């Protein structure tokens, strides 16, 4: 990288180049004198023509004009022309390195015109055609060299720019993948814990109600509720271990096989059974068809799991219908219930009890709807993650309805 002065003018490298060119021009003019031997005036003219080159990249156009103007007296006094010509060619090549090709062609013709006119009228001896052709060749060579340097510089800048963009893209992709993985883990934890805790809460309430009676009634029912709690805890622990394994080993990635039946339709049967143990009638149809891709199967499992959780916890439904069908390589999933719907107003006690109790129940109802809203967002994100769509809202005949359309195989670029 060229070190520039604090004033932003001449650079150290260009100043050294100007010094070297001035010394070389003086030496050649001294060793190979032209029609007139080099004298102090000729030395001063060569030094004056070389000094502007220290600013050749800061102000290339001005330097070119100044170099031409300052070397005209040198040529007119018939010193060695080649010594001063080198200075002018360096200035010309520098200008050519900073202009477009069309401008470089126009500059070449203008310089050639000036040079040929000067050669024809500036000296005592008429220059030969060889002299003229040689000067034309050097002018063209200087312009071509400048354009080549411009192309090389543009090529290097393009490579650096592509490398920087690629680095930024890699960083953005890495950040996006981290965000997607965090979101996926958050969805898994929400679905798993919300479903399991809801079932445990319902069964614990049943067991507590039966145990509070004197003497304890329906011992078999109470034992069944406690067994369901234990089984739900075991299943939740198993799924939680599979979900969190991705945090320990990225390649392990919480494989879908870690949870039996999670990637297919078989896992829906235990889900329906767990919901039935909470006192809801669940009708599951269409789950005997061909299994979808593992990623799609997981999305189906989690969507049904969240829908059942909402039906038990928020909608206070009595019946839930889960329907699966495959149409044109698309899996259509519908989960509907006969509850009050998540968006409905919560039960506030029907006017009984003090106002404090009523306000507490209203706040609890809003919190329940807020939590259910997060679950709906999670279901929609799961559908999008495999290239599908999901619509959730009140059903036409009451209750709540979740409809998802998913591909049987995960679409490329989904998510």
Reported in sequence order, the residue ranges of 167-318 that DSSP labels E, i.e. its strands, are 281-285
Q: The domain 278-415 is classified under which CATH number: 3.30.360.10, 3.40.640.10, 3.30.565.10, 3.40.1670.10?
A: 3.30.565.10
Q: Is the peptide bond before 215 cis (omega within 30 degrees of 0)?
A: yes
* CA-based nearest residue to 342, from 286, 393, 298: 393
3-class DSSP assignment, residue 402? strand
The answer to whether residues 210 and 227 touch, using CB atoms and an 8 Å cutoff, is no
C-alpha 326/C-alpha 352 separation (Å) is: 49
Phi and psi for 386 in degrees, rounded to 5? -110, 10
CB count in 10 Å sphere of residue 246:
17
Residue 279: the pLDDT is 79
DSSP state at residue 126: P
* CA-based nearest residue to 92, from 152, 141, 33: 141
Query: What is the DSSP annotation of 317-351?
Result: -SEEEEEEEEETTEEEEEEEE-S--TTSPPP--TT
Q: Where do the domains of the chain lie? A: 12-127, 278-415
- pLDDT tens for the chain, residues 1 to 415: 344 443 445 688 888 888 888 888 888 788 876 667 778 888 888 888 888 888 888 888 888 888 888 888 887 777 787 788 888 888 888 888 888 888 888 888 888 887 777 766 655 556 667 777 877 888 888 888 888 988 998 899 999 999 988 888 888 888 887 777 677 767 767 666 666 777 777 777 777 777 777 666 666 777 777 777 777 777 777 666 666 665 555 444 444 444 545 556 778 888 888 888 777 899 998 877 778 888 888 889 889 988 888 888 777 788 999 999 988 889 999 999 988 765 444 333 333 333 333 333 334 444 444 555 667 888 888 888 888 999 998 888 888 999 999 998 766 445 5
């Amino acid at each position: 990288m060229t070190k520039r002065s604090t004033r932003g003018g001449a650079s150290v490298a260009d100043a050294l180049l100007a010094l070297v060119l001035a010394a070389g021009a003086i030496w050649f003019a001294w060793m190979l004198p032209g029609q007139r031997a080099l004298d102090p005036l000729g030395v001063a003219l060569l030094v004056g023509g070389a000094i502007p080159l220290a600013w050749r990249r800061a102000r290339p156009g001005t330097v070119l004009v100044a170099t031409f103007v300052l070397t005209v007296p040198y040529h007119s006094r018939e010193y060695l022309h080649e010594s001063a010509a080198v200075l002018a060619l360096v200035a010309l090549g520098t200008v050519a390195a900073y202009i477009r090709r069309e401008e470089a062609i126009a500059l070449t013709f203008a310089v050639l015109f000036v040079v040929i006119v000067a050669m024809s009228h500036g000296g005592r001896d008429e220059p030969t055609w060889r002299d003229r052709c040689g000067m034309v060749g050097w002018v063209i060579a200087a312009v071509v060299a400048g354009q080549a340097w411009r192309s090389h510089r543009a090529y290097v800048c393009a490579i650096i720019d592509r490398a920087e963009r690629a680095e930024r893209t890699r960083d953005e992709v890495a950040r996006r993948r981290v965000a997607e993985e965090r979101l996926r883990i958050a969805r898994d934890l929400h679905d798993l814990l919300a479903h399991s805790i809801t079932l445990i809460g319902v069964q614990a309430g049943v067991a507590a109600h039966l145990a509070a009676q004197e003497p304890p009634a329906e011992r078999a029912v109470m034992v069944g509720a406690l067994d369901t709690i234990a089984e739900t805890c075991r299943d939740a622990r198993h799924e939680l271990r599979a979900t969190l394994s991705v945090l320990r080993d990225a390649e392990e990635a919480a494989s879908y096989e870690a949870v039996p039946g999670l990637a297919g339709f078989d896992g829906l049967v235990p889900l329906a059974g767990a919901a039935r143990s909470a006192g809801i009638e669940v009708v599951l149809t269409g789950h005997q068809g061909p299994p979808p891709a593992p990623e799609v199967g997981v999305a189906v499992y989690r969507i049904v799991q969240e829908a059942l959780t909402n039906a038990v916890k928020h909608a206070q439904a009595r019946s839930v219908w889960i329907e699966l069908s495959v149409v044109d390589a698309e899996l259509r999933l519908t989960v509907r219930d006969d509850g009050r719907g998540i968006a409905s107003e919560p039960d506030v006690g029907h006017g009984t009890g003090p106002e404090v109790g009523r306000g507490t129940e209203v706040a609890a109802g809003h919190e329940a709807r807020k939590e259910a809203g997060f679950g709906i967002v999670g279901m929609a994100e799961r559908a999008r993650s495999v290239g599908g769509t999901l619509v959730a809202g009140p059903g036409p005949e009451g209750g709540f309805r979740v409809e998802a359309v998913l591909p049987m195989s995960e679409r490329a670029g989904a998510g």
